[in-house]
């Protein structure tokens, strides 16, 4: 992968977070994406989210597949663990890493081609298994890296840059994530940092599979009239159901909730999601109602954004399969290989 390292020089008085890092410490290499690509704004939002959450960079593992979107893991969190896998295989590689070391924060970054075509099966299984991760799809409706073919999320009737109409039904990744049991489902727009940063923070604090579909226009191949993934189209059709604040479990909670307008959801680690209702009939904790609401609004041509669904009592894969609290990669040989007597006893219990 080609890259240009960022100069390390910065102002000596840049503000530091609680763990002693400046925002610059969360950046990566200089991006080689097209100027104006939505994916770069998502990288900036990830940097902002991790810096403000006071996460030590070495506690994050970022994984990706193949595509312009998957290249971005090189452009943020340069001091974190990273693995660029093959096309559509990020979820299985991430699942394996997560099983070996549950102590890291896992961030999977993918594209609509990477996740809705070749990686659709992998996406499905990490959602239904509840792998503890933030799964970000940088959704531009095209294969940007291979020069703008329609992807499986391109809307029926939308036009390519050359005027060709897409006649195939789109894969609705939000609908799939909900159906498959994801416990945190959100949609946002790369051009709306005020909405995107708190959603990423909330997804990081969530236990289980947190899915974020981020509309991220491809300025080179899908930002023209007739595209439903262009900056203009998303701005004009954006229908936000809520606005989010995240208060981490570590901080004292001193918020004054306004009855009727703010819903507070406490997560497993004590962090509180405060959702300001923008739509009076929206309940982000009722999976079936959320699915109906999204279908109705999609039929009306609206792009519904915000925290769409959250299960405050979520569990993750480790709970499902009863692994021990100690990360498997820290177990000693003695614990991993308890000896012939223990093995014989175990085998006898199965006879």
Ligand X SMILES: Cc1ncc(C[n+]2csc(CCOP(=O)(O)OP(=O)(O)O)c2C)c(N)n1
Binding site for ligand X (CB under 6 A): 66-69, 87, 111-114, 138, 140, 142-146, 151
Q: Note whether 307 binds ligand SF4 by CB under 6 A.
A: no
Kindly tell me which of 61 and 109 has the beta carbon lying closer to ligand SF4. 109
- C-beta separation of 246 from 48 below 8 A: no
Which one of Mg ion, ligand SF4, ligand X, none is in contact with 87 (Cβ closer than 5 to 8 A by kind)? ligand X
- Residue 140 or 166: the one with the smaller Cβ distance to Mg ion is 140
For residue 165 the two structure tokens come to 């109409």
The answer to whether the beta carbons of residues 290 and 261 sit under 8 Å apart is: no
Determine, following the binding rule CB under 6 A, whether residue 328 of this chain makes contact with ligand SF4.
Answer: no
221 binds, among Mg ion, ligand SF4, ligand X, none (CB under 5 to 8 A by kind): ligand SF4
Contacts of 180 (CB under 8 A, 6+ apart): 124, 127, 128
- Provide the 10 A C-beta neighbour count for residue 226: 16
Q: Which is nearer to Mg ion, 231 or 282 (CB)?
A: 231
Give the residue from 338, 320, 250 showing the smallest Cα distance to 98: 320
Residues 6 or more apart whose Cβ sits within 8 Å of residue 107: 46, 60, 61, 62, 63, 77, 133, 134, 136, 204
**Min CB(279)–ligand X separation in Å:** 30
Q: Residue 55 or 142: which CB sits closer to ligand X?
A: 142
Which of 28, 108, 111, 198 touches Mg ion by CB under 5 A?
A: 111
Instruction: Between 49 and 142, name the residue whose CB sits nearer to ligand X.
Output: 142
Rg of the chain on CA atoms, in Å: 21
140 binds ligand SF4 (CB under 6 A): yes
Residues 131-150, one symbol each (x = binds Mg ion by CB under 5 A, - = not), give ---------x----------
Strand order in the sheet with 262-266: 242-247, 272-277, 262-266
Cα separation values, 231 from 144, 237, 301, Å: 15, 10, 15
Report the residue number, 140 or 271, with the smaller CB distance to ligand SF4.
Answer: 140
Q: Which pair of structure tokens corresponds to residue 28? A: 């990566």
DSSP assignment letter at 170 = P
Pairing of strands 142-143, 149-150: antiparallel
Based on the shown chain and the rule CB under 5 A, indicate whether residue 112 belongs to the binding site for Mg ion. yes
Q: 108 by DSSP, 3-state: which? A: strand
Min dist. Cβ of residue 340 to ligand X (A):
44
* # chain residues binding ligand SF4, by CB under 6 A: 12
Judged by CB under 6 A, does residue 34 bind ligand SF4?
yes
Q: How far is the CB of 217 from ligand SF4 (least distance, A)?
A: 8
Q: How far apart are alpha carbons 122 and 202 in whole angstroms?
A: 23
| Closer residue to ligand SF4 (CB): 45 or 220 | 220
CB of 69 to ligand SF4, least distance (A): 7
Task: Tell me if 228 contacts Mg ion by CB under 5 A.
Answer: no
40 touches Mg ion (CB under 5 A): no
- Position among 63, 218, 240, 304 found at the interface with ligand SF4 (CB under 6 A): 218
39 touches ligand SF4 by CB under 6 A: yes
Name which of 118 and 328 has its Cβ closer to ligand SF4. Answer: 118
Task: Specify the long-range contacts of residues 163-168, CB closer than 8 Å, at least 24 apart.
Answer: 163/226
DSSP summary character for residue 26? G
150 binds, among ligand SF4, ligand X, Mg ion, none (CB under 5 to 8 A by kind): none
Q: Which of 100, 70, 69, 68 is nearest to 84 (CA)?
A: 70
Q: What is the rounded CA–CA span in Å between residue 2 and residue 32?
A: 8
144 binds ligand SF4 (CB under 6 A): yes
**CA end-to-end span of the chain, whole Å?**
53
Q: Which residues bind ligand SF4 (CB under 6 A)?
A: 33-34, 37, 39, 68, 140, 144-145, 218-221
Q: Which residues bind Mg ion (CB under 5 A)?
A: 111-113, 140
């Amino acid at each position: 992968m080609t890259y240009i390292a960022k100069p390390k020089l910065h102002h000596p008085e840049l503000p530091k977070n609680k763990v002693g890092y400046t925002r610059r410490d969360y950046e990566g290499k200089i991006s080689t994406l097209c100027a104006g690509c939505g994916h770069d704004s998502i990288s900036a939002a990830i940097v902002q989210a991790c810096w403000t959450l006071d996460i030590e960079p070495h506690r994050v593992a970022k994984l990706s597949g193949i595509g312009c979107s998957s290249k971005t893991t090189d452009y943020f969190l340069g001091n974190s663990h990273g693995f660029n896998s093959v096309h559509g295989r990020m979820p299985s590689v991430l699942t394996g890493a997560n099983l070996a070391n549950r102590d890291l924060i896992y961030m999977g970054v993918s594209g609509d081609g990477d996740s809705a075509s070749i990686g659709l099966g992998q996406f499905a299984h990490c959602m239904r298994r509840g792998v503890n991760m933030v799964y970000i799809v940088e959704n531009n409706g095209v294969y940007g890296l291979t020069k703008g073919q329609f992807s499986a999320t391109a809307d029926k009737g939308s036009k390519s840059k050359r005027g060709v109409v897409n006649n195939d039904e789109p894969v609705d990744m939000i609908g799939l994530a909900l159906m498959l049991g994801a416990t945190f489902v959100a949609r946002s727009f790369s051009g709306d940092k005020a909405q995107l940063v708190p959603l990423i923070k909330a997804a990081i604090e969530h236990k289980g599979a947190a899915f974020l579909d981020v509309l991220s226009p491809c300025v080179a191949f899908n930002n023209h009239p007739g595209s439903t993934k262009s900056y203009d189209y998303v701005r004009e059709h954006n229908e936000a159901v809520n606005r989010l604040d995240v208060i981490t479990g570590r901080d004292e909670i001193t918020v004054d909730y306004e009855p009727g307008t703010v819903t507070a959801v406490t997560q497993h680690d004590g962090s509180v999601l405060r959702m300001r209702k923008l739509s009076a009939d929206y309940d982000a904790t009722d999976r079936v109602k959320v699915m109906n609401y999204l279908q109705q609004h999609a039929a009306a041509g609206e792009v519904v954004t915000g925290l769409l669904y959250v299960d405050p009592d979520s569990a993750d894969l480790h709970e499902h399969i009863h692994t021990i609290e100690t990360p498997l990669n820290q177990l000693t040989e003695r614990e991993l290989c308890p000896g012939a007597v223990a093995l014989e006893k175990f085998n006898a219990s199965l006879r």
